[in-house]
Structure 1
């Protein structure tokens, strides 16, 4: 049975262990009413900085999950683990190669009852994640829908993450992608700098992930919580 710890999430704050966040800002985020904290990043993750961030988040009573992009930072104690694969990477190791190597070395340690596959569709060519994974991010809407359906219908990946990382995406594309899904939950992240864009994303996606603005404008980040959770899909 696929774990379901994430299925009720509408709003999530994403925190990067490689970026500094003060105690007051962390407390505000954790007590904001968000559904969960997602820990992850594209560069600079270590076991130590991931442990440190988890220990600080654990002062508060809310779910906390880890994007397990590198098995060497597989810190125990999270409520759930997402294992990302980049659908539109030009390098097969980001689709399956790293995963096979990780399972070879660490598979016996994974808490499988809390592990979920996460298919990334990276759509901002200028983002760090596009650069690191060599994602072919300049695809058209039809290709984006097709990639999504490969993950959803052929592979039965339970979470599809549409990632614009640093730019606000085309919500019409996101709506088209969501309309074509049969079972995957659609996460959206990228460029949400306040409640207006958060509300737009909430209309298009199942789960809205808010990240960078936490570090640049905490008040705007906090306002995204109500904007997302106050919206209900028809």
Structure 2
């Protein structure tokens, strides 16, 4: 957790998507603080393992598995992030899956590597929004979810997730105002350095994912945009 407080930028890679060795090397050498591996669908053990090995064999970089399915959990990651979808209408995504995972792995868990994230998904067209049966929150809902993440659940991370769509900066600002100790992550639609700078004004950490696969050069520029003083 102390290390996370120094972070500003994370690249998120989808194990179900192809990425060349050249582009993967560029991502790993970019100066990003960590690589997160995770996705919504077609996430397999083989895909996760292949991506992790390709990174670890060539680079010393902090690697996170964001757990979306129990079948794709493997050892070797530096941390395991467990989403708790606060705006899901289905308790499965807030409590039940997490309970089942801990029940199954309780004797093997190193709790120093386990980070629970309070997720708030704000793009109703996104796969993850539909998959988790979420409801679309308004700005007052988001403020309340952020408050709950820190003051009710004492979660280390509150994640504002627009998932492929560039979000509302005011929503991110209002979420940040509720947080003192919980870190604010922002992900969704960051396609250039201006987007990165704008969201980093309020988010502790920005996460860049989809644009890696659309325009690698613009994605790489987001690192310097938030890390150069």
The TM-score bracket by the shorter chain reads over 0.9
The RMSD of aligned alpha carbons is: 1.1
Report the equivalent of 2:85. Answer: 86
Q: Measure, in 1, the Cα distance between the counterparts of 2:120 and 2:70.
A: 21
Q: Measure, in 2, the Cα distance between the counterparts of 1:22 and 1:222.
A: 15
3-state DSSP class of the match of 1:105?
A: helix
Q: Measure, in 2, the Cα distance between the counterparts of 1:195 and 1:179.
A: 24
Aligned residues: 228
Q: How far off is 1:73 after superposition? A: 1.4
Q: Measure, in 2, the Cα distance between the counterparts of 1:169 and 1:125.
A: 12
Among 197, 201, 204, the alignment partner of 2:199 is 201
Q: Measure, in 1, the Cα distance between the counterparts of 2:106 and 2:38.
A: 20
1:111-150 maps to which residues of 2 (within 5 A)? 111-137=110-136, 139-150=137-148
Q: Measure, in 2, the Cα distance between the counterparts of 1:90 and 1:118.
A: 17
Report the equivalent of 1:175. Answer: 173
Please list the CA deviations of residues 181-204 of structure 1 after superposition, one character each: whole Å capped at 9, or x if unmatched.
121100000000111101111112
1:104-115 maps to which residues of 2 (within 5 A)? 104-115=103-114
Is the CA contact (8 Å cut-off) linking 1:67 and 1:82 kept in structure 2? yes
Please list the CA deviations of residues 210-234 of structure 1 after superposition, one character each: whole Å capped at 9, or x if unmatched.
0000001000001101111125xxx
TM-score if structure 1 supplies the norm length? 0.95
TM-score if structure 2 supplies the norm length? 0.97
